[in-house]
Amino acid sequence: MTLQDIIGNFGTLSIVEKRDVTDSYTEFVIHHQDIHQWDELLTRLLGPAQKLSGKKPTANDLQLTEEYGGIYDQQTLFKKEVDGQTVIAMFWPWGDQLHTTIKIAVLN
């Protein structure tokens, strides 16, 4: 599964801002009100979240996400092993409760 494969599933979902798009990492901002749609999509692609919002991250979660800013209690982490690679996705809700940053990375 490549990052382009994942992005190809975004379809008509609304993106407020694309911040970074490379072959192995993408970051963009969505309206927080759309989080349920994004959660459904990422669950379909990557399986249930490994770390839910409101739960403390494990040492492994922290190590896995360190390069991308880490993962904190109020953030969500998805993870899936595919073809010898690890795909992670994170929801980072903003303090304004109107926006959420989504970070997706394909790790070798």
pLDDT digits (tens, 9 = 90+) for 56-94: 999 999 999 999 999 999 999 999 998 899 999 999 999
Helix, strand or coil for residue 4?
helix
> How much is the pLDDT for 20?
86
- Tell me: pLDDT of 35 over 90: yes
How many domains does the chain divide into? 1
Region 7-13 average pLDDT: 90
Domain residue limits at 37: 3-7+15-107
> How much is the pLDDT for 29?
98
Global model pTM greater than 0.85: yes
Cβ atoms 75, 53 nearer than 8 A: yes
Nearest alpha-carbon partner for 98 in 36, 49, 34, 51: 34
